[in-house]
Every structure is written in C-alpha cells, then in structure tokens.
C-alpha cells in the first residue's frame, strides 16, 4: 500500500523567511509525486515530479524529488502572508489515483 508522510505537521514563519517542507513516501511502483496548495477550499496544483522531471521551479516555489531516498522537498523563498496554507503532497498511482499525505500547515506572519 502506498504511503505518504509529510513533515512538519505545521510551522509558523515570518514574511521573508524560507520554508522547507518534506514529503517521504513508500510506493510499489512509482509514477509521480504531486504538490498541492490548499487554502480555504479546493487544493490547487503546484508541481508534478516524475522520473524524467525531478526538479521544478515556479517563481518563489521549487521542488525536488529524490527517488533513491524516496522523498521530495518543497521550498518557498521570501515567504508572503499569501503563502499561508496547507501544503499537500500526493503520490500518483495507476488509474490516476492520488494518495495524499497528511499535509503541512504553514502560517506566515507579517
């Protein structure tokens, strides 16, 4: 059974700080790892990492995948209050199913 564990559970930072979120996983047949940001309602897609794309960057957000050590990191630099959200990591499996981790709740204080 696929398993996704995220850490830390939550963290509080101040604007301008850098945040590093961790996602470790166990999977029988790796296909992809996805990151989502969930504010009040629906999760919004951030990145998808695969065997052929282990690093992604978009603005202040970046993510890497380590298939050997079975983890991924999501980095947010120069954080803003708008980055406050729950960040979800998910494994993509056969049939397009997603297995989510427990999420990391990030609070960015002004």
Residues that bind other proteins (CB under 8 A): 31-32, 34, 36, 41-45, 48, 88, 92, 95-103, 105
Torsion from C-alpha of 79, 83, 89, 94, nearest 10 degrees: -120
Q: Within 13 Å, how many C-alpha atoms sit on residue 57's CB side? A: 3
- Give the nearest distance from C-beta 73 to other proteins in angstroms: 18
- Closest separation in Å from C-beta 12 to other proteins: 16
Q: Minimal distance in Å, beta carbon 84 to other proteins?
A: 15
Write the CB contacts of 96 (distance below 8 Å, at least 6 apart in sequence): none
Nearer to other proteins, 50 or 77 (CB): 50
| Nearer Cβ to other proteins (45/59) | 45
52 contact partners, CB below 8 Å, separation of at least 6: none
Identity of the residue, 20 or 44, whose beta carbon is nearer to other proteins in the bound complex:
44
Between 77 and 99, CB nearer to other proteins: 99
**Nearest residue to 102 (alpha-carbon basis) of 32, 14, 46, 22:** 22
């Amino acid at each position: 059974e696929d398993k996704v564990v995220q850490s830390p559970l939550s963290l509080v930072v101040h604007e301008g700080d850098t945040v590093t979120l961790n996602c470790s996983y166990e999977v029988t047949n790796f296909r992809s790892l996805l990151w989502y940001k969930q504010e009040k309602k629906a999760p919004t897609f951030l990145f998808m990492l695969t065997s052929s794309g282990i690093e992604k960057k978009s603005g202040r957000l970046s993510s890497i995948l380590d298939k050997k050590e079975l983890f991924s990191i999501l980095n947010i630099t120069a954080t803003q209050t708008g980055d406050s959200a729950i960040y979800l990591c998910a494994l993509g499996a056969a049939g397009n199913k997603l297995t989510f981790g427990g999420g990391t709740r990030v609070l960015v204080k002004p």
